[in-house]
Amino acid sequence: MNRSAVRYDDAMRELLAAYKYRGNERLRVLLGRMLVHAYRLYMLDPTIDKRGFDCITFVPVSAERLAERGFNQAEQMAVILGEQIGLPVASLLTRQRHTGKQSKMSREERMANMRGAFAVIPGRAVKLQRAARRRKLRILIVDDVYTTGSTLTQCAEALCESLPQARVYGLCWAR
């Protein structure tokens, strides 16, 4: 399941570009706070456990992308969201390989490109599971844009492989 804060229209595309590609990191606060609305929609959903989520994590970027941008936009938005709603943010995932830009790929190409791209950081899953004390963990993954769902699907699969009892949900800034 995924929720998004905004529709990825021309105005939102420009806002994200100013932040993500032109380095206007002050926008992280605005974009992170916009996620609060989508989070509240989750909490209104009758299928969501009313205890909410145990933690927030985020889609990791590759070392190449981090060197290029200097920051991980999903991580920054997750931190702002966590501060706003009072949930811990945990770095649980690592990107196994650089996957390149997906914006020009078809759905099938994106799915193939992302397959096996993520893994849980060794030891993090065990620590999180111990903290949950034998109950199903509820993990919220933050990303900037949801297009085909390939990124979130692969992140969720990596988490569920390490934490079979986990319930994983997506929260994206735009769709």
Is 0.75 topped by the overall pTM? yes
Is residue 55 within 8 A of residue 132, CB to CB? The reply is no
For helices 27-44 and 10-20, give the axis angle rounded to 10 degrees: 130
> Which 3 state secondary structure label does DSSP give 49?
coil
Taken in order 122, 126, 131, 132, the sign of the CA dihedral is: positive
Q: How confident is the model at residue 98, as a pLDDT? A: 87
Q: How confident is the model at residue 30, as a pLDDT? A: 96
Which of 45, 147, 16, 156 lies closest to 93, judged by CA? 156
Q: How confident is the model at residue 17, as a pLDDT? A: 96
Digit-coded pLDDT (tens) for 33-81? 999 999 998 899 998 888 889 999 999 999 999 999 999 999 999 999 9
Digit-coded pLDDT (tens) for 96-153? 998 877 778 888 888 898 999 999 998 887 777 776 666 788 999 999 999 999 999 9
